[in-house]
Amino acid sequence: MPESDPRTPDQQQKSIAAEGPDPAGPASLQADGQLLEPAHSAPSKPSRSPLFLWLKEVATVVVIAVVLSFLIKTFLFRAFYIPSESMVNTLDVNDRIFVNLLVPEPFALSRGDVVVFKDTKGWLAPTPEKAEGPFTWVQNSLTFVGLLPDNSEQHLVKRVIGLPGDHVICCDADGKLTINGSPLSETYINAAEVPEIRNFDVIVPAGKIWVMGDNRNHSADSRSHLESNGGFIDLADIEGKAAVIAWPLNRLTALDNYPDVFRNVPVSAG
């Protein structure tokens, strides 16, 4: 007959806990001291391969870059490609520029600013549709999100000469452009050629601007479209102010609006 255990139930429970789990396998101990069936550990998840983790990291970076680029392109800056010589020497053919989309709103436009605007007045000659290549959709997508400059022919780039209410005349006895009676010494004009005199006398209406190219003899600007809406551009058509030449790198520079040229221009009657 087996001997009875002289220990109290509480002492027996403490003894079981001190002795540790049964060598046959892990077990759970309920509050009343009774042992349950051995617990089976959950199967471990298979580890991810280094290639999978690398691809995941690259995909995350790409998604973040696309989202940030789209937000910047939509609200702050947008890239454009320069296809013509109308702004030489300020802008050369094939330059890539960044345009500040916060001008003319909420920040005001100034005389001398270089602006990019939509061609809603038909200044550009109609161009045939380009053939769709196998990767055209890729280029269009990257342009849409802002990772590539806009090289479409739906925009123009010129310098703002007259603001709403300004009286712009070409030219005075010295061959200079005048704004509100003040002659301008236009230091931004392409010095390689003497500008041809093309007479005009305009008052810029409200909500519009008068624009001209720095390469005066090779720019079809407001002077060339007097018969079409007076040669004026709607403020609503302005995409923004050209701020920086970003490419090629040897031309990396901020664009100037030459405030000294317009410093003595009096306030317009408008």
Best CA proximity match to 148, nearest among 98, 220, 195, 93? 98
d(CA 87, CA 155): 14
Question: Which phi and psi (to 5°) does residue 262 adopt?
Answer: -105, 10
Give the count of beta carbons closer than 10 Å to the beta carbon of residue 97: 24
CATH number at residue 225: 2.10.109.10
Q: Which of 14, 15, 49, 86 is catalytic?
A: 86
Give the alpha-carbon dihedral of 102, 103, 107, 110, to 10 degrees: 160
Is residue 15 in some structural domain? Answer: no
265's tokens = 């221009």
Is residue 267 in some structural domain? Answer: no
Q: What is the tens place of the pLDDT at every residue in 153-177?
A: 589 999 999 999 999 999 999 999 9
Is residue 38 in some structural domain? Answer: no
* Whole-number pLDDT of residue 85: 96
Confirm whether 224 is a catalytic residue. Answer: no
Q: What is the tens place of the pLDDT at every residue in 183-236?
A: 999 999 999 999 999 999 999 999 999 999 999 999 999 999 999 889 999 999
Q: Which of 69, 84, 121, 158 is catalytic?
A: 158
- Which residues 6+ apart lie within 8 Å of 23 measured at CB? none
Q: What is the tens place of the pLDDT at every residue in 226-256?
A: 998 899 999 999 999 999 999 999 999 999 9
Question: Which phi and psi (to 5°) does residue 263 adopt?
Answer: -60, -35
Q: How many structural domains comprise the chain? A: 1
| Whole-structure pTM value | 0.70
Confirm whether 86 is a catalytic residue. Answer: yes
Domain that holds residue 141: 51-124+133-262
Expressed in angstroms, the distance from the first to the final Cα of the chain is 120
Is residue 10 in some structural domain? Answer: no
Is residue 44 in some structural domain? Answer: no
Helical ranges in 102-238 per DSSP H: 136-145
* Whole-number pLDDT of residue 29: 41
